Amino acid sequence: GHYGALPPKFASVSPRFFTPGYATVVAAVVASAFYAIMRLVSDTVLWDTIAALGIMICFYYGITAFACVWYFRKQWFDSARNVFFTFLFPLIGGIILFGIFVLSLVESWTPGATGSGSQIGGVGLVFILGVSVILLGVVVMIVQYFRSPGFFRGETLTMAAPESLRRR
């Protein structure tokens, strides 16, 4: 994409419709294939995927909250507002989301505790879906690390936070 996290083709925009045509088609094909495969595993796949999505949201937003705390660490105590909005609120949010993530993983392991009750090998389908998509994301990230190392080294998008106003 634009910053090199994905192949450049994903950033292409249709000159006629001004929409990300390639990315839209890829997303539609992947989503359709995923749904078709999941329908073979479970008739009530929608409930399982919604529950698994909750696990993924807790994981990604939790990481984002902790990343915010780290990114703005030089500005935490510039003002009372910063203490709350760059330190305490993101930290508390990250801790809560991490707790819900762990609780959801533990509960979704048992078939029937969440979602439709579908299972594969005695493990709840919600757990399998949630963890599989997170692991797939890790694999894609590793592949992209070798394909676009500049993105991960901070060469395409700066990783530096603004300096503290107090320290200038």
Tell me the per-residue pLDDT of 85-109, one tens digit each, with 9 for 90 and over.
Answer: 999 999 999 999 999 999 999 999 9
Angle between helices 125-147 and 45-71 (to 10 degrees): 50
146 and 100 share a domain?
yes
Predicted pLDDT of residue 48: 87
19 and 62 share a domain?
no
Q: Is the pLDDT of residue 154 over 60?
A: yes
Residue with tokens 């599989």: 132
Q: Is the pLDDT of residue 2 over 70?
A: no
Cβ neighbours of residue 108 closer than 8 Å, sequence gap 6 or more = 51, 52, 55, 114, 115, 124, 126, 127, 130
Mean pLDDT, rounded, of the chain: 88
138 and 91 share a domain?
yes
**Domain range for 145:** 43-168
Q: What is the pLDDT of residues 143-152, one digit of tens each?
A: 989 988 888 8
78 and 2 share a domain?
no
66 and 89 share a domain?
yes
107 and 48 share a domain?
yes
106 and 78 share a domain?
yes
Predicted pLDDT of residue 109: 94
CB 116 within 8 A of CB 129: no
101 and 131 share a domain?
yes
Q: What is the pLDDT of residues 67-79, one digit of tens each?
A: 999 999 999 999 9
The tally of CA atoms less than 13 A away on the side-chain side of residue 131 is 12
Q: Is the pLDDT of residue 168 over 50?
A: no
Average pLDDT for 10-34: 90
Q: What is the pLDDT of residues 117-134, one digit of tens each?
A: 888 999 999 999 999 999
Q: Could you give the number of structural domains in the chain?
A: 2
Q: What percent of the chain has pLDDT over 90?
A: 56
Average pLDDT for 147-167: 73
53 and 118 share a domain?
yes
**In DSSP terms, which residues pair with 120 in a beta bridge?**
123
Within 10 Å of residue 48's Cβ, how many Cβ atoms?
Answer: 25
34 and 88 share a domain?
no
What span, in angstroms and rounded, lies between the C-alpha atoms of 99 and 161?
A: 28
30 and 76 share a domain?
no
Predicted pLDDT of residue 22: 93
34 and 48 share a domain?
no
